[in-house]
Amino acid sequence: MAVAAAPGALGALQAGRARLVAACCTRLGPGWRLSGSWAAGRLGPALGAHSWMPAAGGPAQRRGYSSEGKTEDELRVRHLEEENRGIVVLGINRAYGKNSLSKSLIKMLSKAVDALKSDKKVRTIIIRSEVPGIFCAANLPVPTIAAIDGLALGGGLELALACDIRVAASSAKMGLVETKLAIIPGGGGTQRLPRAIGMSLAKELIFSARVLDGQEAKAVGLISHVLEQNPEGDAAYRKALDLAREFLPQGPVAMRVAKLAINQGMEVDLVTGLAIEEACYAQTISTKDRLEGLLAFKEKRPPRFKGE
């Protein structure tokens, strides 16, 4: 009866949504973020405020942040070329520390993330381990894929949970095991795991500190794809690369805005989420890429998107 008694409710709702869109997203800027409460980082207090940010009092260390992939680097940033142009691989290479997230490594990741955020040539980012048998982004505007070919325990799994998509080898091992040390997951694990697999199962895994293999992780929805490990030990990375290649032909502006709409919309009710979608959709209409997509469709040829 409440609906029948309020014939102007739909109009009021539409007007309210229009005001919401105007107030919260007059224009998506270079960072592709909505203003207001939606603009807050979704990394969670621990990961956002501590693990990813450079230490106060000085810039992040530059050691290890290199696109040349020096053997001593703890973080290798590789911009792939030719048919893989637009794909960036962040390779964690801290063998002596079993890829544990040290302060220096976190600074390097933060530095790399900040640089990649503003690089419009970047289409997809793969995070992998370059240490055999161990995995161990981030609030990035482009799709991110975690390739888990070995161990991803504690902070390693929290890093993977911060990615959009996770793929793993069947022999991989992953879990939030912090309760064994009388602490809790403090890098976003208590927030992202329930969002990924549901509250009840997330509690069970965290309370028990249970470790899952790739098949078990796929069964509970923790990862999207599981592969039999190959002799080279990089089955998950190869699958991640295949996925990244699927993303490459799509409009880069649309990819960024779609990710924003999904991430922000999942944090609010459906009506507000639809308003966010409307605001994000509006940002794609005036782009040169949209016109190029229409022209390419008419001319029956692959589009040549420029991210504009």
Q: Give the active site residues.
A: 158, 178
Q: Per-residue pLDDT tens for 110-148?
A: 888 888 888 889 999 998 877 655 454 557 889 999 999
Q: Are residues 188 and 131 both part of a single domain? A: yes
Per-residue pLDDT band at 53 (split at 50, 70, 90): very low
Average pLDDT over residues 143-160: 92
Tell me how many degrees the CA angle 17-278-247 measures, rounded to the nearest 5. 155
**In CATH, what number is assigned to the domain containing residue 270?**
1.10.12.10
Q: Are residues 244 and 257 both part of a single domain? A: no
Contact 92, 130 (CB under 8 A): yes
Q: Are residues 235 and 268 both part of a single domain? A: no
Is 308 part of any domain?
A: no
Q: Are residues 115 and 230 both part of a single domain? A: yes
Is 41 part of any domain?
A: no
Q: Are residues 272 and 238 both part of a single domain? A: no
Q: Are residues 286 and 148 both part of a single domain? A: no
**Half-sphere exposure of 213 toward its Cβ, with a 13 Å CA cutoff?**
7
Pair of tokens at residue 59: 């810039």
**In CATH, what number is assigned to the domain containing residue 181?**
3.90.226.10
Q: Are residues 195 and 272 both part of a single domain? A: no
The residue with greater pLDDT, 208 or 78, is 208
Asked if pLDDT for residue 181 goes beyond 50, the answer is yes
Burial degree of 182 (CB within 10 A; 0-12, 13-18, 19+): exposed
Q: Are residues 205 and 286 both part of a single domain? A: no
Please tell me the predicted confidence (pLDDT) of residue 104.
75
Q: Per-residue pLDDT tens for 254-302?
A: 999 999 999 999 989 999 999 999 999 999 999 999 999 999 999 999 9
Is 12 part of any domain?
A: no
The residue with greater pLDDT, 155 or 32, is 155
Pair of tokens at residue 204: 């069970």
> Residue 231 sits in which domain range?
75-248
Per-residue pLDDT band at 2 (split at 50, 70, 90): very low
Q: What is the total count of domains within the chain?
A: 2
**Amino acid letter, residue 18:** A
Is 228 part of any domain?
A: yes
